[in-house]
Amino acid sequence: MSTNHNFFAPFADDDRADAAEKVTGRAKFTAEHALPNLAYGLFVCSTIAKGTVTKINESDALKAPGVLDVISFQNCPAVPGYSPAKGAFEWSGLKTLYDNKVRFYGQPVALVVADSFENATAALNLVKVTYEKEAHETDFEKNRKIETALKPAGNYKRGTEKAYKTAPVFIEAEYKTPIEVHSPMEMHATIAIWDGDDKLTVYDKTQGPKSTQGTLAKTFNIPQKNVRVITEYVGGAFGNGLRSWLHVPAACIAAKKLNRPVKVLLTRPQMFSLVGYRPQSWQKIGIGADKTGKFIGISHSAISNTSRYEDFREGIVDVSKFLYACDNVDTDYKMLPLDLSTPTWMRGPGEVTGCYALESAIDELSYQLKMDPIELRIKNFTDINPENKLPWSAKNLLDCYETGKTKIGWKNRSAQPGKIKENGWLIGYGMGGGVFGAGKGAASVRLLLKEDGSIVLQSAVSDMGPGTSTSMVKVAAETMQMPIYKIKFSLGDSDYPPGPSQGGSGTTSTLGSAVNLVCETLKQALKELAIQQVPAFKNLTVADIDIKNETLFSTKESNAKVGIVELMKLSGKPLIEITKDSGGATPEMRKYAINSFSVHFVKVRVHAKTGEVQLQHVVTTGDAGKIISENTARSQMLGGVVGGIGMALKEELTINHETGEIANASLGTYHLPLHTDIPQIDVWFVNKPDPIVNSIGAKGVGEISLIGFAAAVTNAVYNATGKRVRDLPITAEKLGFKKV
Ligand code: MOS
């Protein structure tokens, strides 16, 4: 890092803009904000999965040191959004501290508020809760087979239904995935501060400061401009920061009731049930082809769980409708409500689950056809999206296949499974692909050009980790043709111009377009200013002027030249301020199918005696338009691979169905990949601008990095062993080895 200048974060071109803040610990995450007179709130959670709270006895807790209040349905003040007038905004989902119903094990039933975190923690067990229990159902496997327990969530058909059954070669298989949990390093927290009755400031871990602001304004029935949401740094989220969960209103309720700032923190175990999860799934795929490998039919059914009190559905079967050319496709999707908390979006929501099954099934079909699985995919490649019949704006999957194949050493793969053995390990190669929607939403960015020539950009977004400031600074630097160290991107405050929630791999495209637009607008304004203010520019038009290295100059035969700082001085402007909105999708965009694509390649070894699976090499390729920031885009792909290794080999939330309690709600018992599980990972991008999606040619990589990865692993394990695991995660026992 270079430190020899006085502008923003001292960083080299490929460093993260916030690296210094993060590694020095100066960066403050939500729960770290200290405020005078702060009180601490912690949830008392139910110890039954379904029923009624008959009584909460808080008297012992209230006598404990430092305890200020125990808030529950017995004494919770009225919240406008909890019991609204007809037609008015109503809080969606569970209304915490509102009623005496218990809907899942671990549901908050009371909030203990004390003068310190320690005193709040100590008092939790002193709150005596009495219940009336009802019978609960948490067992997905048992209940998914009961047709009447299922809720239809959409179906689709083109061509002939179940056409795969008429194909000369077909496979039919069922795939299962367990509940997976986001498990970000930073736990959720909210600090609420009221200033009078209608002014609220919250520090909140959220992927969308504007969305949280809107939700709270409506919930407490106060003007949106009176709610300020601050989210300077987020330590990972993966989707669980996309909505306001129960602790967010709870903090606001407590702060209002006690008339002092209140911080509500979730504990690590609560992170497993109170901020969503990827739902459990069952899928069935039938896929058939003619002898040359051309797909004749794809049928894809799925069931995933939801809670009893909210419907959560995601696009599990959607990929099968359009990723490959096929005339006959039918899908069917159902939800299974259980006595659990509501699932939510988790990195690659829907597609991760669906592509695991689809990309596994295609691999299975390739062995039936005795065809290379990459060849089989190329055989069914299409430039036209077969679902909406639109041409893809850009699709460079063939380059991904080609490059990945070479880099992983695909030529060393045996077409026959279980054939390569080295030093007691079976070696296998596998691949799988992913796709995710790409588009452009609306975002506003404010630009401030200061008299020293530095630029500050502001938008009310948050950055859960991908490096939003870094990539936005790069977009601005490229547009302005000026050094990155003179540009700063400020985020994490709802008072800034409205920006999108960070989700759906959309930030770079949406926000990047707005940054590009506001910088282009500034360039135009500077050129006009030069024509007005600088004699040498007087006879030029805007089209004759270019800007590079903080200098305006004539592109014609002329010596006209003026620095931006000098121009500001000449015009007597201490500051130029511009705000621009990128707008959403354009009519041109609607003529195309726009997606990001990925293909993952994996080399595994499986121990021939113990069944231990180790990844040896990963090559992950992404087709996401122009790559704005190599470093952070690469990191996104690495993170997706680590998540994919977790999904394939490790992660599984287990529930004790007797009680409905999560049995492994800790990082010690919910297994995530360890450093030793991560092999060499090569990341490769097509890196060609998408000509349609936006003005910067960039699409997202956050989700495609994970989508399809688990299938690449199971396919490689099959190639190594000849054993097909259709029930994640892969374990030695599922491969037929005895537990050691
Ligand atoms: Mo993501 S599931 O778009 O945070």
- Cα dihedral 298, 155, 275, 336 sign: negative
Candidates 611, 615, 601, 602; CA nearest to 418 is 611
* Best residue for ligand 1 mutational test, from 240, 347, 501, 704 (most atoms within 8 Å of Cβ): 347
Cβ–ligand 1 distance for 238 under 6 Å, the answer yes
pLDDT at 739: 66
pLDDT at 740: 58
Cβ–ligand 1 distance for 699 under 6 Å, the answer no
Contacts of 330 (CB under 8 A, 6+ apart): 155, 156, 157, 158, 161, 162, 298, 299, 300
Cβ–ligand 1 distance for 182 under 6 Å, the answer no
For the chain, residues with pLDDT lower than 50 are 1-5, 10
What is the position in ligand 1's atom list of the atom closest to the CA of 505? 3
Q: What is the number of alpha carbons within 13 Å of residue 120 lying toward its C-beta?
A: 25
* Best residue for ligand 1 mutational test, from 181, 238, 245 (most atoms within 8 Å of Cβ): 238
Contact assessment for residue 191 and residue 203, using Cβ atoms and an 8 Å cutoff: yes
DSSP-assigned beta bridge partners for residue 129: 56
Contacts of 130 (CB under 8 A, 6+ apart): 53, 54, 55, 56, 57
Bond from prior residue into 261 cis (ω within 30 degrees of 0): no
Candidates 49, 36, 111, 128; CA nearest to 265 is 111
pLDDT digits (tens, 9 = 90+) for 425-474: 999 999 999 999 999 999 999 999 999 999 999 999 999 999 999 999 99
pLDDT at 12: 62
Cβ–ligand 1 distance for 349 under 6 Å, the answer yes
pLDDT at 15: 82
- Give pTM, 2 decimals: 0.96
Question: Catalytic residues, which ones?
Answer: 703
pLDDT digits (tens, 9 = 90+) for 294-340: 999 999 999 999 999 999 999 999 999 999 999 999 999 999 999 99
pLDDT at 159: 98
Place of tokens 């948050």: 462
pLDDT at 738: 78
Candidates 123, 202, 686; CA nearest to 462 is 202
Place of tokens 């259980």: 338
pLDDT at 27: 95
What is the position in ligand 1's atom list of the atom closest to the CA of 503? 3
Cβ–ligand 1 distance for 239 under 6 Å, the answer yes
Contacts of 305 (CB under 8 A, 6+ apart): 140, 179, 279, 280, 281, 335, 336, 337, 338, 340, 343
Cβ–ligand 1 distance for 345 under 6 Å, the answer yes
pLDDT at 122: 98
Q: For residue 501, how far is its CA from the centre of ligand 1 (angstroms)? A: 9
DSSP β-ladder status, 39-45 and 108-114:
antiparallel
